Structure 1
Amino acid sequence: MQVLKMELQGFKSFADRTTLTFAHGITAIVGPNGSGKSNISDAVRWVMGEQNVRHLRGQKSEDIIFAGTEKRRPQGAAEVSLYFDNSQHELDVDFTEVVITRRIFRSGESEFFINKRPCRLKDIHLLFADTGIGQDSMAVISQNRVDAILNSKPEERRLIFEEAAGISRYKSRKQEGLRKIAETEHNLERIHDMMGVLEEQLVPLKAQAERLTAFRALDSERISYAGTLALQELRNAERLLSKAENNRIAATGEYRALSRQTEATEAAKKELLAVMEQESADLRRLDEETLTVHNELDSMKSRQEAFVTRQEELLRSHVQLQEEEAETKKKQAHIQAQQGQSVHDLAQRQAACEAARQGFNLTQSVLAKAEEKVSRMQAALSQVQAENTEKA
């Protein structure tokens, strides 16, 4: 199984996306101290599932994310992808090329992918188990790890040899099987305990079952009696319902009769209101005519007063004329030349006095007729008001 290439972005000193291609044969990475050679091996260990940050020469998970420089800002996440040639199907997947990707954020969240599909870290461990490049394999050995292997105890070396021999998968499966067997035995013990408890409850449960059987028999009789009682109540209810229905029909008939009577009353009320409205209009018209007559009467009274005043003035003028006539007669001898003119003036004033008398008499007759008309209208108005009061 050949490693084809590796892609790094934001992992330790690899701020930009960097692609390393591994051709067939031996590939060596050389460079001065501090150039980041060890970061590549750390990236391989990390993407394969290394969880201990101290093994990656860090103190906390954020240490493997590019921390930034004076000219570049820090990255928010680190991502490493490792490409494998699976044309021989050494990995148990149906792909000729397998891509393992791991991503971590500064919040501490991690993501794992197999061929760009989300997965669990356990899935990656199972995929590379017994391939020699798993999490605890010897495919990647750091400088301080060589001394640890040489100085390790036989039990620790045995683990290294088992991983190299490819039996770690079966050991993990064995441990998983033993764990499940232990859980099953524990569950069986719980089942036995529950069976003992249930056996102790069988005797009271049997007595309860007998009481339940007797209860069900009595309950069936109760249900039968209840059904008979319900049937009787149903029949009584049907009779009451029939009686109520008859009462409803009778009440409906009475309601319809009352509705027709109410409609007739409403029609009569509308007619009466129309008559009252017409009579109110007539009454308003009579009031207007009465007001007009009163206005005419006031006008005639004013004219009569004017005629009386004019008559008094004419009477005074007549008296004055008589006095002047007497004076004229005394002076007749002396003013013969003016006699014709005086006689003519006297005749004109007498004619005016006569005309004033005729106007005064005419005014008195018109005033009497107006007063008679007002009396008749007041009598008619009183009669209309009395009829309206009787109708109301």
Structure 2
Amino acid sequence: MIPYGRQSISQTDIDAVVDVLKSDFLTQGPAIPKFESAMAERVGAKHAIAVNSATSALHIACLALGVGPGDIVWSSPNTFVASTNCALYCGAAVDFVDIDSQSWNMSTTALGDKLKQASASGKLPKVLVVVHFAGQPCDMDQIHALAQQYGFKVIEDASHAVGATYRDSTIGDCRYSDITVFSFHPVKIITSGEGGMAMCNDERLAWRLSMFRSHGITRDPARVQALQPDPWQYEQQLLGYNYRMIDIEAALGLSQMSRLDEFVARRNELARRYEGLLTGLDLQRPNVTPDRKSAFHLYVVRTRDSVEHHRAVFNSLRRMGVGVNLHYTPVHLQPYYRQLGFAPHMFPEAERYAETAITLPLYPDLTEQQQDDVVQALEVSLG
């Protein structure tokens, strides 16, 4: 089976992890701040807070921005459930903005229309979680302008988009947002095994993120409230969590960063090759606009608008050894979210997308022969 995604691990990566295993620190040691500093420098952000998953990063991002009961958080329905679960963890309500039919990211037209209605009814979101689906950046200048106009905060869920760029901005520099979240899951652009990171440019936000990451505890003498702190003094000042990354993961992530540009270049090379190989087939292919560079975490095609045809093609590819997947079943159609009051036909573009989308294999170590095999299987499956 050719998987849709797979990590690429080198001997240098293995050596970096072994070095940590032989060191004095397996957890809260020097590898974590090194990884954080390297990522902050790479994307141009002032602060980086490493955590044990992107889900944790999304959660503490909401907490740091003050999300709680009575608040509303909006996101895209075309994403993994973590993009909105993070708000539910905080006791907030969630809602969605439908996607654009070409980019498959959040539609800024739909966003603008929904904000007008929400403003009139007094139900504006406190935070908007924008998702750079498949590695392609959203229309961040328009989203930023709407945030300024309507007064909401912006979290970029860039789990798919490490190494992507938008105009003259690197995803993660937080030029258009308050916080950006990265994922280092094995199928993502770089991996730390599991792991995530929150980027920001505001010192107070960075402090709150770091506190929520680690039980709400500080040992910083400048921040403890005791008038005469003892050498062993630590204080819990917030209700935080144990969301810490460990040094083993950070060492792997830091080593992987040396190949980040190589990984993104290879993914784009394979995407261009797919574009050529798939020309002439009855499919909709990804549309990347000239003002941005996708990290191509995923390569998604869409079949004809027929649920039956989509299912037949998908199942045929699986039978032929191609590990295709669907990213994503719209969040609002998940059973848990239906219990919250969401229902079919509420976000029709996302639903049409899910009825026709197929994620093809794409990862740095995918060979051209394997890619040819995928395309050949797809041609047969399309009939």
Higher alpha-carbon Rg: 1
Question: Could you say whether these structures have the same fold, taking a TM-score greater than 0.5 normalized by the shorter chain as the test?
Answer: no
In the superposition, the TM-score normalised over structure 2's length comes to 0.20
In the superposition, the TM-score normalised over structure 1's length comes to 0.19
Higher relative strand content: 2
